[in-house]
Amino acid sequence: MAEKQPQTVRRWQAWSMGAVLCAIVLHVSIGLGARLWHRMASPLPSAATLAQGQGEEDLTRFLSFVAEYVPKGETALYVTPGTGTQEMWTFYRLSYELYPSAVWWVAPAPREPVTWWITAPLDGPALANLAREKGARYVIVDGVPALEALAGRSVQDRPGRMVLMLDEGQQE
């Protein structure tokens, strides 16, 4: 026959099970709240952004422009001056549209532990070295003034947005 446990042991077990259950519920609630907050705070462009022509229509036009000049399967660098939400979604869409191409995001700000994000100065020699290192033949520039010392053919979508096809010498 099983020996009866004292009343205090049973109360302590019930209390500890309740505490564990509360901790789990609290953990899940905080996680879901953080995800909801992040979703509400980021992906949609603001009215000011839409007024500046940075909305979905402009992004779709830019992606079509890039897809026209960057063949699928070619490695490309996506160069931006910032690391905001708009740049992040553009990077994701570029990666999707250009698949199976490898697209590397280059910006001056560090971001860890993301492997496809590269921190580099936004000047010609640094980008040429990085393109050579990654085997990139194309540089997709978004919001960066004209880059000097990047020899190659460039096609401009609008000021600050262009696709550069690097010369063979800069790749090797």
pLDDT tens readout for residues 6-59: 777 677 777 788 888 887 887 777 877 776 665 555 555 544 454 455 567 778
Spatial CA neighbour of 155 closest among 66, 57, 64, 90 = 66
| pLDDT for position 113 | 63
| pLDDT for position 172 | 46
pTM score, two decimals? 0.62
Residue with the larger pLDDT of the pair 152 and 100: 100
Q: Look over the chain and give the mean of its residue pLDDT values, rounded to a whole number.
A: 76
Alpha-carbon span 117 to 78, nearest angstrom: 10
Give me the count of residues in the chain.
Answer: 172
State the CB neighbour count (10 A cutoff) for residue 99.
11
Q: How far lies 54's CA from each of 9, 46, 67, in Å?
A: 64, 9, 18
Do 71 and 77 touch, CB atoms closer than 8 A? no
Alpha-carbon span 144 to 41, nearest angstrom: 25
| pLDDT for position 76 | 92
Residue with the larger pLDDT of the pair 131 and 16: 131
Tell me what the mean pLDDT of segment 141-159 comes to: 69
